[in-house]
Amino acid sequence: MLGGDYEARVLEPSPPAVTEEPYTDDPVAPGEVPEGRSLVSPVPHRGDLTWDEVVELERELGLGPWAAERWLGAFKRLEPLPDSFAETTKALHQVAEAVVAPARKPESEISLRFTRGGFGTPFFEQDGRDCQVRVERGELVRQSGHDEQREPIDAVDPEAATALGDLYGFACSVLEEFRAEQADEDPSKVLLWPEHFDIAMELGSDARGKRANYGASPGDEDHDEPYLYVGPWSAEVSGDLWNARGFKGAELTYSELLEAPDQRRAALDFMRERYRALRDA
């Protein structure tokens, strides 16, 4: 898409498969950049240019819709959820636990990732090929090398499944930017956990009681809509910043995101403010 002047990094897992611990790649890691190329990253602080900047710089390429679909740049807004969102999310949660996560090799590794239009495994090696199992807009996709097998998933509304994929894409892009900002705070990778079906990372000093989970949930028994959250591991927190229901921490609801003039800024400011409160306590 970019041509020979650029080296690109994205948010989604990419081949080749990682065959040693931690069995997953870091898509936004700068890595090696061929001489004479500029590194394009989904997040600031990780390259020479962001995708947002390249979209503007190379307007003749028409990269805006392509980048927006993958939550790389030219960011679109999250939209109101379809009525079928909760039912579809419940069904896809079961698919994540029973079908997608168990497909990973080695079998003890269950973490998933945001993938375009949904979620899926990192690439893993099977029979000498780079393989991935993912859900894309309500379809189950099994990829082996360049070959794909697709099948619809019963009881899943494609519109709602796409909305879930957009939630994960939005959260992944926000979390990766926040992770890059706090590179000195021992941040983990941004992973999607099939048990709770949330996408999250952790950072901060555990020894000093500053470590916390930062993530996004599509909803749970205490929340009938998605929300962003900050969950301290051990710090005792109280006050207006720490407003979570059902757990110790803070939350920003999907409804509040929809009302925000700049959704990304609202999400990042939510996480930055809680991080500073934990750091300075």
Condensed to tens digits (0 to 9), the pLDDT of residues 143-166 reads 999 999 999 999 999 999 999 999
Query: Is the residue at 78 inside a domain?
Result: no
Whether residue 171 sits in one domain with residue 272? yes
Give pTM, 2 decimals. Answer: 0.96
Query: Is the residue at 127 inside a domain?
Result: yes
**Rounded Cα distance, 213 and 277, in Å:** 14
Q: Where is the domain boundary, 158, 183, 213? A: 158
pLDDT at 281 over 90: no
**What's residue 3's pLDDT?**
80
pLDDT at 134 over 90: yes
Give percent above pLDDT 70 in the chain: 100
Whether residue 271 sits in one domain with residue 200? yes
Q: What total of structural domains would you count in the chain? A: 3
Higher pLDDT pick, 268 / 59: 268
Q: What's the whole-number mean pLDDT along residues 38-43? A: 95
Beta strands in the chain (DSSP E): 6-8, 38-41, 49-50, 113-115, 118-120, 124-126, 129-136, 139-144, 147-152, 191-193, 198-203, 212-217, 227-232, 250-253
pLDDT at 93 over 90: yes
Using pLDDT thresholds of 50, 70 and 90, give the confidence band for residue 16. very high
